[in-house]
Amino acid sequence: MPSTQTLSQKVEQKLYQAAGAISAFSYPLGWEKLEIDENRSLWASYTPNYVPGPPLKGNTTADLAIIGGGFTGVSTAHHFAARYPQKRVIILEAKSLANGASGRNGGMMLNWVYGTGPMSEETTRRVYQATSKTIDDIEKTIKTNNLEVSYRRDGCFEVFTDEERAVEAQKEVAYLNQLGIPIQFLDAAAVRQHIGLNNIYGGLFDPSEGQLNGVQFIRGLRPILIEQGVEIYEHSPVLKIREGSTITLTTPEGEVKAKAILLATNGYTGKLGYFRKAYFPLHSHVFATSPLSQEQSSKLGWRGTAGFADDLNRISYATQTKEGHLVFGGGSNISYGYLFNNRTAFPGSPDSAGPAFRDMQKTLNSYLPGSEKYPMTYRWTGTLAISLRRNCSIGVRGEYGNVYFALGYSGHGVTAANMAGRVLTDIYSKSDEKWRGLPFVNAPFSPIPLEPFRWMGYQMVTRLTGRSPREPFR
């Protein structure tokens, strides 16, 4: 007799096969429009005087035109301009720098690249080294440039809500330690020495991980980029891309003729006609409290650790900032949403997602009893690109090999999108030996059907299984 889980896995597998077949049907892009709302996050509240740069007016040229001013776009501009100081680099941002996921996330600065599937020992080591170097680089950039950025690096936990998974994780740690990867397994009591979490059976602790205010980081880098010669145009949405050996980008008031472009638009990329079947834009709600005092934090049991995420399909993630704000996202079906027609903005005010926020507060309280008494001072929603296997892809495509891209990091993009700048610059300069063979370089995506099947499929899977659609690696 097959177990229920095996049966449901089989049913899910059939669904994904059907999804692959349905995805052959096309759906006109003209029915969708780009929506980008204001960033209301806690992170943005720390740059109240930020004045966006001017929009692009008139015609110009570029060696590299970057579309999108999040971690991917900004890290690429930074690395590329350092390698090629004589080349003309332009960033075109639809709203203002860090208005997208990079300025709205949970702030966890994590190792690993999500959704890579099983890896050999050597690849495991290379991926870990690449991400931990990226976290080191972020810290170095902040320190070298004296940026005013709130961050901490006192480690993050992945906690286990299931005993069997905790036992498996313990075995995994022994294997990783053998490879020289310094991750620790802590039993529940030891985890509670760092964060007093209920309902857990232990956790993986990576002391090199941390937390970052992405808005302060990206906006803080703006003058550095300008000094490097990068031209930054904000309130300049790219409306049309015409490919060729020279690519033409059209904005409401201008045009760029570029030798190469970078799609650094993550969850918004489909609106430009690219990667439409590769991912779906997922909305994730996040809230933050006002700063807790040291006494309040230690009463709650939060001592000297940047954050934790759990092991559930609808991941809960939480951090505490250096200033004392508790930040929490995810934790249930209702705390995530896919909206018909790939909408990229969650409509209305945070009250529109009122039930989701109430549900999230209960989840946080179940982990950290007593947290419920701290009001949600900040509530916001961010859009991220989720692929079926949760994998990201960083690479280059197009008839002329001049359309660079990096997207699909799921909830693991703070580090990976900052790493993308180095990967892409190396690919551009054909000095990418150290990235070759890594599972995120030019990685294929499993196809997801377009509407109306996409919305129906999402509803069916989330309602029937309580889980997000996710195809396992075969």
Ligand X SMILES: Cc1cc2nc3c(=O)[nH]c(=O)nc-3n(C[C@H](O)[C@H](O)[C@H](O)COP(=O)(O)OP(=O)(O)OC[C@H]3O[C@@H](n4cnc5c(N)ncnc54)[C@H](O)[C@@H]3O)c2cc1C
CB-wise, 197 or 286, nearer to ligand X? Answer: 286
According to DSSP, the residues that pair with 380 across neighbouring strands are: 286
Mark the segment that binds ligand X (CB under 6 A) among 7-15, 94-102, 371-379, 440-448. 94-102
CB-wise, 90 or 414, nearer to ligand X? Answer: 414
Q: Work out the burial of residue 290: count CB atoms within 10 Å of its CB; fewer than 13 is exposed, 13-18 middle, 19 or more buried.
A: middle
d(CA 382, CA 336): 10
CB of 267 to ligand X, least distance (A): 6
According to DSSP, the residues that pair with 308 across neighbouring strands are: 157, 318
d(CA 383, CA 338): 9
Residue 413 contacts ligand X per CB under 6 A = yes
What tokens appear for 265 in the block? 């638009």
3-state secondary structure of 168: helix
The residue length of the chain stands at: 474
Please name the residues in contact with 332: beta carbons below 8 A apart, sequence gap of 6 or more: 314, 356, 359, 360, 363
Kind and range of the H or E run holding 376: none
Residue 325 contacts ligand X per CB under 6 A = no
CB of 292 to ligand X, least distance (A): 19
Query: What is the DSSP track for 89-151?
Result: EEEE-SSSTT-SGGGTS--EE-SS-TT--S--HHHHHHHHHHHHHHHHHHHHHHHHTT----E
Q: Which of 12, 32, 93, 209 binds ligand X (CB under 6 A)?
A: 93
User: How many CB atoms neighbour CB 142 within 10 A?
Assistant: 19
Residue 337 contacts ligand X per CB under 6 A = no
Q: Which of 107, 281, 301, 331 binds ligand X (CB under 6 A)?
A: 107
Q: Which of 364, 384, 424, 461 binds ligand X (CB under 6 A)?
A: 384
Binding pattern for the stretch 280-309 against ligand X, x by CB under 6 A and - elsewhere: ----x-x-----------------------
User: How many CB atoms neighbour CB 33 within 10 A?
Assistant: 11
What tokens appear for 58 in the block? 């008139």
Q: Which of 395, 411, 421, 457 binds ligand X (CB under 6 A)?
A: 411
What tokens appear for 197 in the block? 């979490």
Q: Which of 116, 132, 208, 266 binds ligand X (CB under 6 A)?
A: 266
User: How many CB atoms neighbour CB 13 within 10 A?
Assistant: 13
Q: Are 409 and 266 in contact (CB under 8 A)?
A: yes
Q: Which of 44, 92, 215, 461 binds ligand X (CB under 6 A)?
A: 92
Residues of span 197-256 touching ligand X by CB under 6 A: 237-238
Residues of span 443-462 touching ligand X by CB under 6 A: none
Residues of span 22-51 touching ligand X by CB under 6 A: 34, 36
Residue 268 contacts ligand X per CB under 6 A = yes
Q: Phi and psi (nearest 5°) for 278?
A: -80, -30
Size of residue set near ligand X by CB under 6 A: 45
Give the nearest residue (CB) to ligand X.
413
CB of 187 to ligand X, least distance (A): 25
Q: Are 72 and 181 in contact (CB under 8 A)?
A: no
Binding pattern for the stretch 415-444 against ligand X, x by CB under 6 A and - elsewhere: x-x---------------------------
Q: Which of 78, 79, 88, 104 binds ligand X (CB under 6 A)?
A: 104
CB-wise, 15 or 397, nearer to ligand X? Answer: 397
Mark the segment that binds ligand X (CB under 6 A) among 1-9, 107-115, 166-174, 466-474. 107-115
Mark the segment that binds ligand X (CB under 6 A) among 123-131, 261-269, 438-446, 457-465. 261-269
Q: Are 437 and 6 in contact (CB under 8 A)?
A: no
d(CA 128, CA 172): 14
Mark the segment that binds ligand X (CB under 6 A) among 53-61, 124-132, 192-200, 376-384. 376-384
3-state secondary structure of 324: coil
CB of 58 to ligand X, least distance (A): 17
User: How many CB atoms neighbour CB 358 within 10 A?
Assistant: 11
Residue 72 contacts ligand X per CB under 6 A = yes
Q: Which of 32, 52, 53, 106 binds ligand X (CB under 6 A)?
A: 106
Contacts to ligand X by CB under 6 A? 34, 36, 67-73, 92-95, 99-102, 104-108, 110, 237-238, 264-268, 272, 284, 286, 317, 329, 382-384, 409, 411-415, 417
